[in-house]
Amino acid sequence: MRRLNSRFREKDRPTDVLSFPAPGFANGFAGDIAISLDIAARNALTLGHSVAQEVRILALHGILHLAGYDHAGDRGEMAGKEQHLRRRLGLPAGLIERNSKPALRPKDASSRTGPTRSRT
């Protein structure tokens, strides 16, 4: 994950989730999502929920990026969508929500956006 984050986002540190949108949503394929199970396991332990729940949270975040959302400058649109879907799916605090509240932020958390964010 560190190499991917460095190559595509020019951030030389590991991250928990990266999204790689497919050009033009080719043949119904939205793109790829890379998830670090090591970081997911640490976050789950720190935040008090299962690794499976953490992977679901990371996958949801990545899917929203593949759908074109970008919390870097959308004035809360992605955060609202993530929160709504997280509640419907019965998941604990999402990435955007926990990054905005210091008490929910896992130790050693890193940036959680897909590699296309740095290009926008």
Distance CA 1, CA 112 (A): 12
Statement: residue 111 has pLDDT above 60: no
CA angle, 47 as apex, 3 and 50 as ends, to 5°? 85
State pTM to two decimals.
0.77
Q: What is the pLDDT of residues 8-25, one digit of tens each?
A: 999 999 999 999 998 877
Average pLDDT over residues 43-67: 93
Lowest mean pLDDT across 13-17, 45-49, 62-66: 45-49
Statement: residue 116 has pLDDT above 60: no
Domain 2-119 fold is Collagenase (Catalytic Domain) (3.40.390)
Domain boundaries, the chain: 2-119
Matching residue, tokens 């994950």: 1
Average pLDDT over residues 54-76: 91
